[in-house]
Structure 1
Amino acid sequence: MELGVFSLSDIYPDSPDTAASRIDDIISYGILAEQHGLDVYGIGEHHTRQFAVSSPAVVHAAIARATQRIKLTTTASVLSVLDPVRVYQDFATLDLVSHGRAEIIAGRSAFAEPFALFGEDIAQLDDLFAEKLDLLLRLREQKPLTWEGRFRPPLHEAEVNPPAHGDLPVWVAVGGTPSSALRAGRLGLPMALGLIGGTIDHAKRLIDLYRSAGREAGHPAERLTVGITSHFYVGQSQEQALEEFYPYYHRYLSPETNGGRGFYVDRPTMQAMASRRGALIVGGPREVSEKILEMRSVLGIDRFLGQVDLGGMPQQMVRDSIQRFGDDVAPAVRHVLAT
């Protein structure tokens, strides 16, 4: 089972952070994650000034040159508005820079702003994503490609350069929509499920749909890989973790932060979400270890990624969480799974 962390690179107007300082922090977190034995590091992609990173491949290239082992993924690439040819080129280049550690998690976008920025019609979101995902997957074959679709010019005997180091992994990001889980299963692609609310039992329904669709499409069980992403903090103890994390979690989810799209969460609600079957992964090393193992047992997940910095968390708080995850949680989880 793979364990890792990720950042969505959020920035707050009342903080001293800038895009430059946040990118420096995010690079340092990726290096630290490898130093403490984690398997995967993810960076999200956004296209407004409320976030620092619009090109994860560029930031990951900086991390790649300072690391040797950790996988470098996106959470997630906004494929609906991007040219799949360029996405493939960027991540194939990152794959060469990192000697085979690049991944793409392809998503549809939870925000409307990128559609206006790139001139795509949000009313055609599902068709855009389906067509662009199809082209991205075809590009991985590295043969002269002839292709035609509705949303970009056709390709005729095209050879896209550079070829990746190997078979560039492509996952599908699923936020909770059954149709997205079914698509990932039918294609036999790994699914990265965002668990940001509800319970483990809600996630199980989507994962069961995904695996059922994959089996019906004839894909072997070993191809039907599932990862979970969740809000996350490892403190010294359960009580201390909840107390420290709450102000940042409250701000991160609030409507003011999310342009009216968020909600207010109070402390009792957060505490309920951090319970054994809740979606929130916050606690001391023991509680976080137990919860990840519970997900493994109930959901059969192959990967867990925790959103390690959100709501303007101080750098030292983030670094301490990464260190505890790598030094205390990961060995405990691996020990139980090995025995």
Structure 2
Amino acid sequence: MEDSMADQQPVVELGLDTFGDRTVDQQGNPVSYPQVIRDVVEEAVLADRVGVDFFGIGEHHREDFAISAPEIALAAIAARTERIHVGTAVTVLSSDDPVRVFEKFATLDAISNGRAEIILGRGSFTESFPLFGFNLQDYEGLFEEKLNLLHELLKEQPVTWEGALRPALTNAEVYPKTENGLRAWVGVGGSPESVVRAARYGFPLVLAIIGGEPARFAPYVDLYHRALAQLGRPDLPIAVHSPGFIAETDEKARELYWPGYQAMNDRLGRERGWPPVTRDRFEAEIEHGAQHVGSPETVAQKIATTVRSLGIQRFDLKYTSGSTPHEHLMTAIELYGTEVIPRVRELLAADAAPEETAIPEPAETPAP
């Protein structure tokens, strides 16, 4: 008898995310923006080849990231890959238009033959607001209103809608239609209100865990499940997006990852008033926090722990942090697909396997 569809599904989906960080070459020279974009496409092609389930690209509009139009890069990736799902991490919906978001992803879905996904969020940077003429004072209202409209558009039926910050629509049809609908998630950074909003609209949840012990997000997972239940909705998948890096050994992974991590965090610190990051803090985040950095075995064990502690259905490793050269990123992707993913599934399968019960020896029959 053939296996059921449920039996064929992996224990957990395992993906990769990048923001298209501007890298350096092996001599430490900055790589051009066009080359970084081409490199990201090659990284995704490799991810597809080694068995990664999802490849996400973040949207940014600042000098340290090369990709401001992820849908175009994703279309190039979709045309060169066969099985990997492709999507954003995240689409900054507040400063985009829901109609254009639907149109772009419906097109990407066609190119990829149904492999497109959207992760919707507000983003961790605000450069897109003045760039596209939006008022930061409307930060909350823009996201709420546009999420509401996109939720209606995803039904792929005529839409009549009215809001306060965007022109109304009356019986509007949006094209192209998709063959099987679009998979859309909502990404949140730890706000209870955002978790409940995702449940209210019936979107799967992505938790961005970029610092601290992943297990501390368990209350948000519980809140999401409770909100869905109270709303009468079926349970939906939860994913985690967390940073990390893989090399052949723990020591090599830390040494290759540290320079880019330090430069990125110090640059953000100068903008946001944080103190310079220390090596001790970096090591602590690897040992006890959100950084999944190390050898394939170390990273697999930590991912499995994150999956177990939160009961999630997907884990996406943000494998880039600052200027780490493309060659090292390619090695990390290959190790992730060929060693980390099989090991994580092995560890989780062992958790799920029923314990063997010893069969007692038969008692001796007394002699007559």
Corresponding residue for residue 269 of structure 1: 281
Q: 1:173 aligns with which of 180, 184, 187?
A: 187
Q: Please state if 1:150 is matched with 2:164.
A: yes
Question: Over residues 25-47 of structure 1, what are the superposed CA-to-partner deviations in whole Å (9 max), with x where a residue is unaligned?
Answer: 11001101011111000000012
SS of the equivalent of 2:120 reads strand
Q: 1:310 aligns with which of 298, 318, 321?
A: 321
The aligned amino acid for 2:267 is P
Q: 1:219 aligns with which of 233, 236, 239?
A: 233
Checking the alignment, whether the CA contact within 8 Å between 2:257 and 2:321 is kept in structure 1 is no
Q: Please state if 1:189 is matched with 2:203.
A: yes
Corresponding residue for residue 232 of structure 1: 244
Distance in 2 (alpha carbons) for counterparts of 1:49 and 1:240:
28
Q: 1:249 aligns with which of 255, 261, 272?
A: 261
SS of the equivalent of 1:103 reads strand
Q: 1:206 aligns with which of 184, 198, 220?
A: 220
Q: 2:153 aligns with which of 139, 156, 167?
A: 139
Corresponding residue for residue 30 of structure 2: 16
Checking the alignment, whether the CA contact within 8 Å between 1:172 and 1:192 is kept in structure 2 is yes
Distance in 1 (alpha carbons) for counterparts of 2:16 and 2:179:
24
Question: Over residues 36-68 of structure 1, what are the superposed CA-to-partner deviations in whole Å (9 max), with x where a residue is unaligned?
Answer: 111000000012233211111110010011101
SS of the equivalent of 2:271 reads coil
Distance in 2 (alpha carbons) for counterparts of 1:77 and 1:45:
6
More moved, 58-67 vs 228-237: 228-237
Q: 1:332 aligns with which of 335, 343, 364?
A: 343
Give the drift of 1:262. 5.4
Is there any run of 5+ residues in structure 2 with no aligned partner, and where? 1-11, 351-368
Give the drift of 1:258. 6.5
Checking the alignment, whether the CA contact within 8 Å between 1:255 and 1:263 is kept in structure 2 is no
Is there any run of 5+ residues in structure 1 with no aligned partner, and where? none
Distance 1:6 1:220, change over 3 A: same
May I ask how many residue pairs the two structures share in their alignment? 336
Distance in 1 (alpha carbons) for counterparts of 2:83 and 2:151:
25
Give the drift of 1:261. 5.6
Distance in 2 (alpha carbons) for counterparts of 1:6 and 1:261:
27
Q: 2:74 aligns with which of 60, 64, 79?
A: 60
Distance in 1 (alpha carbons) for counterparts of 2:278 and 2:222:
31
Distance 1:256 1:4, change over 3 A: closer
Give the drift of 1:201. 2.6
Distance 1:114 1:262, change over 3 A: farther
Distance in 1 (alpha carbons) for counterparts of 2:228 and 2:201:
7
Checking the alignment, whether the CA contact within 8 Å between 1:105 and 1:170 is kept in structure 2 is yes
The aligned amino acid for 1:47 is H
Question: Over residues 142-179 of structure 1, what are the superposed CA-to-partner deviations in whole Å (9 max), with x where a residue is unaligned?
Answer: 11111111111111111101012322011111112221
1:54-93 equivalences under 5 Å are: 54-93=68-107
Give the drift of 1:257. 7.5
1:90-129 equivalences under 5 Å are: 90-129=104-143
Distance 1:78 1:309, change over 3 A: same
Corresponding residue for residue 14 of structure 2: 3
The alignment-based identity, stated in percent, is: 39
Q: TM-score, normalised by structure 2?
A: 0.87
Distance in 2 (alpha carbons) for counterparts of 1:281 and 1:205:
21
The aligned amino acid for 2:198 is A
Checking the alignment, whether the CA contact within 8 Å between 1:253 and 1:263 is kept in structure 2 is no
More moved, 63-72 vs 240-249: 240-249
Q: TM-score, normalised by structure 1?
A: 0.94
Give the drift of 1:185. 2.2
- Answer with 1 or 2: which has the greater Rg: 2
Distance in 2 (alpha carbons) for counterparts of 1:53 and 1:288:
27
Q: Please state if 1:44 is matched with 2:58.
A: yes
Give the drift of 1:256. 5.7
Q: 2:294 aligns with which of 259, 272, 283?
A: 283
Distance in 2 (alpha carbons) for counterparts of 1:279 and 1:143:
41
More moved, 202-211 vs 230-239: 202-211
SS of the equivalent of 1:45 reads coil
The aligned amino acid for 1:295 is T
Checking the alignment, whether the CA contact within 8 Å between 2:159 and 2:173 is kept in structure 1 is yes
Give the drift of 1:303. 0.8
Question: Over residues 200-256 of structure 1, what are the superposed CA-to-partner deviations in whole Å (9 max), with x where a residue is unaligned?
Answer: 2322122222222222211222x2x11111111011122221222111111121136
Give the drift of 1:186. 2.5
More moved, 133-142 vs 90-99: 133-142
Distance in 2 (alpha carbons) for counterparts of 1:116 and 1:229:
27
Give the drift of 1:12. 6.5
Checking the alignment, whether the CA contact within 8 Å between 1:255 and 1:262 is kept in structure 2 is no
Question: Over residues 88-144 of structure 1, what are the superposed CA-to-partner deviations in whole Å (9 max), with x where a residue is unaligned?
Answer: 000000000000000110011222211111111211211110110111111111111
Checking the alignment, whether the CA contact within 8 Å between 2:54 and 2:84 is kept in structure 1 is yes
